[in-house]
Structure 1
Amino acid sequence: MAKQRLQQVADTMQRILGEVIQTELKDPRVGFASVTNVEVSADLQHAKVYISIMGTPEERATTMAALQRARGFLRKRVAEEMRHMRFIPELHLIEDTSIDYSLHINDVIRQIQHERMVNPPRIDDEQ
Structure 2
Amino acid sequence: MGGHRPQRVAEEIKKELAKILREDVKEEVLRLVTVTAVNVSSDLRYVKIYFTLLGGKGDKGAVAELLEKSSGWLRGELGRRLRLRFAPELQFVYDESIEHGARIMELLNKVNQNEESRD
**TM-score w.r.t. length of structure 2:** 0.90
> Post-superposition shift, 1:32?
1.1
| Amino acid paired to 1:89 | P
Q: Distance in 1 between matches of 2:31 and 2:14?
A: 18
Q: Name the residue aligned to 1:118.
A: 117
Q: Name the residue aligned to 2:88.
A: 89
Preserved CA contact (<8 Å) 2:22 2:31: no
Could you tell me which runs of 5 or more consecutive residues in structure 1 were left unpaired when the two chains were aligned.
121-127
Residue 48 of structure 1 aligns to a residue whose secondary structure is strand
> Post-superposition shift, 1:95?
0.6
Preserved CA contact (<8 Å) 2:17 2:78: yes
Preserved CA contact (<8 Å) 1:48 1:94: yes
- 1:26 matches 2:26: yes
Output the aligned Cα RMSD.
Answer: 1.6
Query: How do residues 46-61 of structure 1 correspond to structure 2 at under 5 angstroms?
Result: 46-54=46-54, 55-56=56-57, 59-61=59-61
Q: Distance in 1 between matches of 2:44 and 2:96?
A: 25
Q: Distance in 1 between matches of 2:91 and 2:85?
A: 19
| Amino acid paired to 1:119 | R
| Max Rg structure | 1
Q: Name the residue aligned to 2:103.
A: 104
Q: Render the CA deviation track for 1:14-54: whole Å, top value 9, x for unaligned.
A: 10111111111111343511111111001112111111113
Query: What is the percent sequence identity of the aligned residues?
Result: 26
Q: Name the residue aligned to 1:69.
A: 69
Preserved CA contact (<8 Å) 1:29 1:66: no
Q: Name the residue aligned to 2:79.
A: 79
Give the structure with the higher percent helix: 2
Could you tell me which runs of 5 or more consecutive residues in structure 2 were left unpaired when the two chains were aligned.
none
Q: Distance in 1 between matches of 2:31 and 2:75?
A: 20
Corresponding pairs, count: 118
| Amino acid paired to 1:110 | N
| Amino acid paired to 1:69 | K
> Post-superposition shift, 1:59?
2.1
